[in-house]
Amino acid sequence: MPIREDGTSLAERLIPLVPQALTNAAATFVDSLKISSTSEKVRRGRRVVIKRRHVYSEQLAELANLYFRMSSIPVRFWSKTKDWQRWEVKCFRKLNGDRFRAFNSGAKTVCIDKLPGQRLWDHMNRGTLTRRMLEAAAREYCRAHQLWSDEFAGGWSHGDASMANVMYNEKTGRARLIDFELIHENSLPTKSRQADDLLVFLLDLISVVPTRQWLPFALYFLNAYENAGVIAALENQLALPNGMAWIWWGVRTSFANPARVKRRLAKLRHVIANLAHHRAIAATRARKRRRASITCQEISPGMPSASSRTLAISEIAKAASPGIPRRLPTKR
């Protein structure tokens, strides 16, 4: 995307100028591109959600994928209905199969147990979003990201991790993920895919939550997501997009003012960098503390372990010279 001398991008200049009617039209257009619809039913006493692909879904999915490819947006729709059914059911079972069911039902339909609770997106828009909910969502993403996926030959990622796809059950305090229609481009490294999930979730917060609350909310989420490597990858993804990707960005940010989104992303980047710095310091301190407390470890008295300080000191003492270790380093 062309950047002006004052550092503003095309999206930043255009979106505030776009009249509300046009923004609404863009939103309606994106909605009309929906390739499936959902309805609720009761089947054999279970409340279920029926998700059905539309007649032209395969063509629409291919068109959308062409746009994603041309704009370097790292997600794809499953264009073949059968592939989508398989993935939607497989992911739902992988994440929610401990209690809930999902299966193919007919040529264009999947049938999924209705999860209890409400979407975080609805809580956010009603102003009832809480720290507990954000922490539950982060824990669920963290758990899901630890699961292996054959399709990626790596850690699993969602691909459409918006707050509309996180259900929260107030009674149990548990968040669960739904909607597996998009998938990340599988050439992307695991950490980048997972960081993209965090970004998509945070973009909802950044675009909708009022000034005083968005940052504490973002931090509740990030602090409860315990994979520091993914958060480090996220730091590099907190920027406005280039080229045609800004249309998708508009969808992701509910067409919020890009200048405001950019300011908030910069703030978040700064906070994450500090967070990483503090974590690194805390980890170094913890390592030092552990070394000093070897006497508390479960070893027999007088028998220093391979990593113990006593042994390390004695090895140094026995070395031919301070620069030459007596033992070669071995892999553990």
Give bridge partners of residue 184 from the DSSP assignment. 75
Q: Is 131 in the site for ligand ATP (CB under 6 A)?
A: no
Q: Is 120 in the site for ligand ATP (CB under 6 A)?
A: no
Q: Is 279 in the site for ligand ATP (CB under 6 A)?
A: no
Smallest gap from Cβ 38 to ligand ATP, in A, equals 4
**Nearest in space to 197 (alpha carbons), one of 171, 223, 172, 233:** 233
Smallest gap from Cβ 49 to ligand ATP, in A, equals 4
Instruction: With beta carbons less than 8 A apart as the criterion, state whether 201 and 144 touch.
Output: no
Instruction: With beta carbons less than 8 A apart as the criterion, state whether 141 and 161 touch.
Output: yes
Q: Is 36 in the site for ligand ATP (CB under 6 A)?
A: yes
Residue closer to ligand ATP, measured from CB, 251 or 275: 251
> What is the Cα–Cα distance from 109 to 107, expressed in whole angstroms?
6
Q: Residue type at 294?
A: I
Residues numbered 154-173 forming contacts with ligand ATP, rule: CB under 6 A: 164-165, 167
Smallest gap from Cβ 51 to ligand ATP, in A, equals 6
Contacting residue, 3, 16, 25, 38, with ligand ATP by CB under 6 A: 38
Instruction: With beta carbons less than 8 A apart as the criterion, state whether 132 and 140 touch.
Output: no
Kindly state the DSSP code that residue 99 receives in the 8-state scheme.
T
Size, binding site for ligand ATP by CB under 6 A:
15
Range in contact with ligand ATP (rule: CB under 6 A) among 114-122, 186-194, 220-228, 276-284:
114-122
> What is the Cα–Cα distance from 330 to 321, expressed in whole angstroms?
20
Q: Quick one: what does residue 112 bind among ligand ATP, Mg ion, none, with the CB cut-off 5 to 8 Å set by partner type?
A: ligand ATP
With vertex at residue 203, the alpha carbon angle to CA 202 and CA 209, rounded to the nearest 5 degrees, is: 85
Residue closer to Mg ion, measured from CB, 145 or 158: 158
Q: Is 307 in the site for ligand ATP (CB under 6 A)?
A: no
Q: Is 311 in the site for ligand ATP (CB under 6 A)?
A: no
- Cβ atoms within 10 Å, residue 288: 10
Smallest gap from Cβ 163 to Mg ion, in A, equals 10
Contacting residue, 179, 196, 197, 204, with Mg ion by CB under 5 A: 179
Buried b (16+ CB within 10 A) or exposed e, 255-267: bbebbebbebbee
With vertex at residue 185, the alpha carbon angle to CA 263 and CA 95, rounded to the nearest 5 degrees, is: 90
Contacting residue, 74, 156, 161, 181, with ligand ATP by CB under 6 A: 181
Q: If you write DSSP's letter for every residue of 276-325 in order, what string do you get?
A: HHHHHHHHHHHHHHHHHTGGGSSS-TT---TT-HHHHHHHHHHSSBTTB-
Q: Is 59 in the site for ligand ATP (CB under 6 A)?
A: no
Q: Is 165 in the site for Mg ion (CB under 5 A)?
A: yes
Residue closer to ligand ATP, measured from CB, 161 or 178: 178
Q: Return residues touching Mg ion (CB under 5 A).
A: 164-165, 179
Q: Return residues touching ligand ATP (CB under 6 A).
A: 34, 36, 38, 49, 51, 112, 114-115, 119, 164-165, 167, 178-179, 181
